[in-house]
Amino acid sequence: MKKEEILVVTPYSDSAMAMFAQHYELHVLSQAADPDALLKSIGPRIRALATNGESGASAELMDSLPKLEIIACNGVGVDAIDLAYAAKRGIRVTNTPGVLTDEVADMGMGLLLATVRQIPQRDAFVRSGQWGHTPLPLTARVFGKRLGILGMGRVGKAFARRAVAFDLTVAYHNRQRIPANEVAYVYYDNAIELARHSDFLVICASANSKNRASIGREVLDALGPTGFLVNIARGSIIDEPVLIEYLQEKRIAGAGLDVFWNEPAIDPRFRQLDNVVLQPHRASATTETRADMAKLALDNLLAFSAGKPLLSEYKV
């Protein structure tokens, strides 16, 4: 029996692609010698599109797939998918929540420790032979400080659990206040007040058009010159040029970043800063978690093909 064809925007890992290929005939758009020719050839037959959080799916791409019924995103973030257009077309969207929650929270805690205690800088100090020859300034303490979490969803809650183990006092801001019997942390009505009462501000919120560049001067001024920022959500949430200015001028103490504007071609000024720790958007990038994500993305496609309920449909 002939396998159903699906279009893959950007290839997943070799093991994930092999798993998908057991069930579907795969066409990889980014690897096509002539992507337009590929879309013209197979577009009229494609009902399912597989993508990830970075590549997403534009309205233009969806337009080239007149029979498209489902977009399976291998990732939690769906901000790179034109959700309004998908809804207009009646195209269903799935993502992979839950399976990467703890992995991302781990990265967030790692970035917090690395940034505040300057672990990468100290590693470079030892490797360069300066130990014993060059004075080394002290760093700030982590335990016992005040932590603000912007976005108390799955990742925010997982990060908060880790923070409590470090004796951090946790507060949060969320689009909606969570009942106290579910989350007992202090709630602030806006990000500015949260930052004002935080030594460390960690961004765990999902990205959307309303919070684009929302972490800017007012929030960073409230965080202040002894405050640290960590972002494990989406780069779009931060006003990046403003953040660079504040890091250059030491108007905040430092930042740990896993996400950026224009990935992977990030602003080169970040590389010149000694008070920022940079990660190449790898919070979920472990063998185990990426395998779990790919399996959930595939299981959603298989459910769709079998006419069964989707496992993790994203509701706008």
CA separation for the pair 105, 159 (Å, rounded): 5
Instruction: Supply the residues annotated as catalytic.
Output: 234, 263, 281
Angle, CA of 282, 276 and 206, to the nearest 5°: 45
Q: Which residues of 219-247 are buried (b: 16+ CB within 10 A; e: fewer)?
A: bbbbbeeebbbbbbbbbbbbbbebbbebb
CA 87, CA 168: separation in Å to the nearest integer? 42
